[in-house]
């Protein structure tokens, strides 16, 4: 599809729903981009599984301290009050329900909230990693993703065909075409690109989209 949001725009939209001072874990890769788009007057406290709380932006090139990295092995900076801890304490925070939000990528999201974001296939991630803890430990789990695969197949489906990361865990999906909530085991459309018809959106979605009130326009800045 030619008319769709970029990854940066999807990340921007997801960032707008993070409350001030929320404790947030961002998945490796694309979801890490959400940290760049904190709204004015709001600042999340970011957690990484390898043991840092309240890290900041990436350092300037050439100024990296490679003892300070996130779970994706990218260099980070520290904010005042940042803390270090070992993996056991980090996952105790996750499993103990101390994270407000986890934002992850996805291969597939099912209408009942099941998430598949790892695969044992060619070039797939070799293991589920900490995501299985995050999706059931965080108070809210959101997904950011393109609406379809590179070959045009829906990523929002009736049932996942890939290995599951978690069952019934996702509550909101931010895609390149829409913002969709998962309520009562169904996809509920909240926002869509203003130039995209409901029929066209449904045609690239693998399960029925329900309407609950007015569907807002998905409008984001150039970022």
Tally of CA atoms within 13 A in the half-sphere of 22 that contains its CB? 23
Q: Helix, strand or coil for residue 63?
A: coil
> Pick the catalytic residue: 19, 21, 32, 49?
49
What residues contact residue 122 under an 8 Å CB cut-off, 6+ apart?
none
Q: Helix, strand or coil for residue 20?
A: coil
pLDDT of residue 79: 93
Q: Indicate the pLDDT class of residue 1, thresholds 50, 70 and 90.
A: very low
Alpha-carbon gap, residue 163 to 118, rounded angstroms: 7
Domain regions of the chain by residue span: 7-217
Cα separation values, 124 from 25, 46, 118, 119, 162, Å: 22, 26, 7, 5, 11
Alpha-carbon gap, residue 188 to 15, rounded angstroms: 20
- pLDDT tens digits, 113-137: 999 998 766 665 556 678 899 999 9
pLDDT of residue 129: 72
What is the CATH architecture assignment of 7-217? Answer: 3-Layer(aba) Sandwich (3.40)
- pLDDT tens digits, 43-100: 999 999 999 999 988 899 999 999 999 988 999 999 999 999 999 999 999 999 999 9
Mark whether 49 is an active-site residue. yes
State the first-to-last Cα distance of the chain, in angstroms, to the nearest integer: 19
């Amino acid at each position: 599809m030619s008319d769709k949001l970029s990854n940066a725009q999807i990340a921007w939209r997801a960032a707008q729903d993070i409350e001030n001072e929320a404790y947030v874990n961002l998945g490796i890769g694309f979801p890490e981009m959400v940290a760049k788009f904190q709204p004015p007057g709001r600042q999340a406290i970011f957690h990484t599984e390898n043991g840092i709380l309240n890290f900041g932006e990436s350092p300037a090139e050439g100024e990296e301290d490679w003892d300070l990295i996130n779970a994706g092995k990218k260099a980070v900076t520290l904010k005042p009050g940042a803390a270090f801890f070992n993996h056991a304490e980090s996952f105790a925070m996750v499993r103990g329900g101390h994270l407000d939000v986890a934002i992850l990528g996805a291969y597939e999201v099912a209408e009942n909230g099941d998430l598949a974001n790892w695969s044992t296939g060619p070039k797939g991630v070799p293991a589920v990693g900490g995501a299985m803890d995050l999706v059931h430990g965080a108070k809210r789990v959101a997904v950011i993703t393109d609406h379809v695969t590179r070959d045009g197949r829906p990523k929002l489906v009736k049932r996942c065909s890939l290995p599951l990361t978690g069952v019934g865990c996702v509550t909101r999906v931010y895609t390149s075409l829409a913002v969709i909530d998962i309520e009562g085991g169904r996809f509920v459309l909240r926002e869509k690109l203003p130039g995209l018809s409901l029929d066209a959106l449904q045609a690239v979605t693998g399960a029925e989209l329900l309407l609950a009130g007015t569907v807002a326009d998905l409008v984001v800045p150039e970022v």
